[in-house]
Structure 1
């Protein structure tokens, strides 16, 4: 291989462990790799920026706007209200949940679908007496399976298809072409989840159980009307820097002061709510002017319009990962007070301020009402939902938003216009009709995914132009013994392994040129290999970190790492068997 080929290969090999094991986002890692290759002269500026002009990337971006319009109008909430109902058994509950989720995920990005369903499922599970952990992992898996039905189903499908038509426009696929494999995969997968899911998932305690009794992690005291703390500020009263506790709110005359600041003045009869350990009660009893509160319902169990109790799932991209809550100034930065932390289905014990945040931790937060909308799209949190909050009311434009999406699907299916053109028109109509505001559209764009996709094109171009892809293709052919079926199996296994470690988009885009070169060297059609890349990149059931929806349910469901292996291992195998059997029949070599 040439020097450029060795440089390309070295950079690509270094990228995968960096994305898998470092806290740096995949978009930053990949952009850094592209900049390095550009600086070394391995690729030129046109190749480095090629991803930013790819039709697949823009189709993904416009689809995000369409999804945002459905979310903003309450379109997914509308489906939830009509389909969940009151099943009489766990299996019937799974049927009511998994079938609509898999169907929706064929046309919508599955991340917002799962994000909308999780709070509804948590509330629904209590009503139908089915533990939430029996529903949440199947929810995530069903959304992944549904994404394999159409080219719109996942961003990976759209991007790989964009790469394909750039290389050879005559190989363009229809919106439902992959449904010949996607529907059987979804049917087999959902049937497996219905039949074996209840048996394979062990009993777990979810975050809702860990947070159900506020008296386990809060202490309430009252300000003595005749004591020395009246008219003193929180800072002056010595309540700002307690060792074991945080002052999170003050109940005063039927109202509440949330996210209490150091300058707030205390009044006689104020009911102070502290979060922390029971050992902290000793510290409070030593403060003159505080007396134990009168018996009654916990302040956190009351409904106040001035504050919200919120559950937030920490993302692996959160800037406070690895930091102690107190040292990170979480409260100052977000305007929300941490009441408790749940990890692995158990509330984390010990001093609250000393807890170091980890990915998928579930935080119970006390915040002001604007917090939810302000941080709903924050990359620091995978999910934000109001505790015991009712679903948002269905907007009168929900059906219009669904109609626009249906029109996009119809135009693309009939070939009236390209998928990108149809998605662009749909996004424009969503904005013009008021189904989606410009602000919501901007928030709906997942810039990390878009940058990851764009940067991956640069690495793929480096492998191809330097000759590294051809060399890797020769190696792959040698390992496969020149047998196209063995090469197909090897392609599936490689992409499926990479997508468990890094993002599915990066795994697909970087391996695409190697797969195409392998098919060309073997003298066979590239189509079966392209389709296998799409399916293998989506088959992420083994770990919570392999797919974002898995990480979203990991904390709320109280799961352990092994739970994904237990339920997802056989599902991965079934998916592989169905795909590798059907693809060569539908797209012959």
Structure 2
């Protein structure tokens, strides 16, 4: 994990000043990124950033999180690589038919649909999406950690004011004071940060974890880097100081955590009280909660010690390898160029990129393995079998002929019906399953009409991704459901017009970009019994 997505977009989002400004700065880059990255990690990486932006400008996150998901879906329609659905449809079609789908083939529909869709969200999100309070809030944690962070002398924050550095309105966290040498400096918004400044901050656990991922801030004296543990093996651990701890009455600096426990103290909490001074000068008391950076083995060793109890891992911690972010971005760009220029297949380019990410230490082999969702692969494999069964049994042809009869043998109307049927299936089952099932039906309809298969393949590709009217049709919609405090009716009210916009663009543009041949058969074939 390098934080590359945040690096690529953070500078753009950090300067948002109004709600409309934030909308543009969030939706446009998200749509652009999602054309070349899987939209699920894009949304996951930007959700906390969107939350930060909303708190800074005083807006409700519910008015931006759902548009964030929709923008990612729209952007994913623009390339074959944009969504797993597009990739699956392309591979399945090319494996069994003579046609070929180029890297940017979906863009003829995706780009105008994205432009109109983003425009619709800019105009109507504040009117159609009510302000809602999320079910879970960071501020609900009663513990207040005191954390000390130093300004990296070679980092990007030196010379910036607290306001310019984005540290003025941190979510769930505030700067209590600045320690500069032997003096204490008030944390005024226009105070310029200097190299080596010690920032004393107070806030909730989740906010402290996120703070450690901020570029330009280091732990005191960079203690984390001095640990005899590789960065990828470190984890954050909460430990409560016991009444029998040998360090009671001593300061954290005197406790020599690095030599005694091979751990570094990141933050300390004493109920909801704010602790004065630097972290190293805090005298330990029984019941203090320490946030430690250590190896996972500390969890086992601590059970044998009398110094701590209630030792637990902080699951939300992910080590961010910021120094590897540009490697990750370069690898991604290379992968896209190789696939777009047909130097190698998308599969070969993606596998090579994944291997390069591990070799350049952008992620570990374990992280790469955990990122594979085996459940989705099983569903896709099972759905391929269902599609084959529909074709061999004649069921797909029967459904296709039913659609053709409803359309009066008109290819344009048949295309529209295939699109609508695919869109409906997407809301009821997974989008990948809907795409594979309706791909068989769409190709059957094209063959029955004697027209090109490609318009129907593109229609299925777009419709299977255009899931806007429920939280369950697409993974990113479900991701923002609880966090944004949404109701199902919000998706229907805000997403239905967007679905109709994409539908209208698709049925008008697809026949123009991928024309039907002019020699349809005079009579419809009869499906085999």
TM-score if structure 2 supplies the norm length? Answer: 0.66
Matched residue of 1:544: which SS? Answer: coil
* 1:335-382 deviation per Cα after TM superposition (whole angstroms, max 9, x unaligned): xxxxxxxxxxxxxxxxxxxxxxxxxxxxxxx99344235xx8xxxxxx
Shift of 1:303: 7.8
SS in 2 for 1:368: strand
Equivalent position SS for 1:510: helix
The question of whether the paired residues in 1 share the 8 Å contact of 2:77 and 2:110 is answered with yes
> 2 CA distance for matches of 1:511 and 1:134?
33
Offset of 1:564 from its aligned partner?
0.9
The count of aligned residue pairs is: 376
Shift of 1:208: 5.5
Partners in 2 of 1:488 and 1:187 — Cα distance? 23
Q: Which residue of 1 aligns with 2:394?
A: 467
The residue that corresponds to 1:493 in the other structure is 420
Find 2:334's aligned residue among 403, 407, 410.
407
Please tell me whether the aligned partners of residues 469 and 496 of structure 2 are also in contact (alpha carbons under 8 angstroms): yes
Q: CA deviation at 1:432?
A: 2.4
- Aligned counterparts of 2:336 and 2:237: Cα–Cα separation in 1: 49
Larger RCO, structure (CA 8 Å, separation 6 or more): 1
2-structure distance, mates of 1:394, 1:428: 17
Report the CA distance shift for 1:213/1:506 in structure 2 as closer, same or farther (over 3 A): closer
CA distance in 2, matches of 1:163, 1:257: 46
Compared CA separation, residues 295 and 407, structure 1 to 2 (3 A)? closer
The answer to whether structure 1 residue 184 and structure 2 residue 112 are counterparts is yes
In 1: Cα distance, 2:373 partner to 2:13 partner = 29
1:371 aligns with 2:315: yes
Quick check: 1:200 aligned with 2:128? yes
Match in the other structure for 1:111: 40
Secondary structure of the residue aligned to 2:316 is helix
| Aligned mates of 1:576, 1:433 — CA distance in 2 | 43
Q: For residues 214-247 of structure 1, what are the alpha-carbon distances to aligned partners after superposition, in whole Å with 9 as ceiling and x for unaligned?
A: 569xxxxxxxxxxxxxxxxxxxxxxxxxxxxxxx
Q: Does 1:148 align with 2:77?
A: yes
Please say if 1:508 is aligned against 2:443. Answer: no
In structure 2, the partner of 1:305 is 291
Deviation of 1:258 after TM superposition, in Å, equals 5.4
Is there any run of 5+ residues in structure 2 with no aligned partner, and where? Answer: 144-235, 249-269, 276-284, 294-309, 517-529
- SS of the residue corresponding to residue 291 of structure 2 reads coil
What is the deviation of 1:454? Answer: 1.2
Q: Secondary structure at the match of 1:541?
A: coil
Pick from 92, 115, 121: which aligns with 2:21? Answer: 92
Q: After the TM superposition, which residues 190-339 of structure 1 pair with which residues of structure 2 at under 5 Å, given as runs?
A: 190-207=118-135, 212-214=139-141, 296=273, 304-306=290-292
Q: Which moved more, 1:197-206 or 1:420-429?
A: 420-429
Supply the distance in 2 between the matched residues of 1:369 and 1:123 (Cα, whole angstroms).
25
After superposition, the CA RMSD in angstroms is 3.0
- Distance across 2 between alignment mates of 1:512 and 1:73: 37
Check whether the contact 1:540–1:572 (CA below 8 A) recurs between aligned residues.
Answer: yes
Are 1:77 and 1:394, in contact at CA under 8 Å, matched by a contact in 2? no
Distance in 2 of aligned mates of 1:73 and 1:214:
28
1:512 is displaced (CA, Å) by: 1.3
1:449 aligns with 2:449: no
Rounded Cα–Cα distance in structure 1 between residues aligned with 2:15 and 2:4: 21
Matched, 1:545 2:472: yes
The Cα offsets for residues 524-551 of structure 1, whole Å up to 9 and x where unpaired, read as 0011110010110111111111111111
Q: State the distance in 2 between where 1:191 and 1:303 align.
A: 48
**Can you give the 5+ residue segments of structure 1 that lack an aligned partner in the other structure?**
1-71, 217-255, 271-292, 308-365, 377-391
Measure, in 2, the Cα distance between the counterparts of 1:487 and 1:424: 38
* TM, length-normalised to structure 1: 0.59
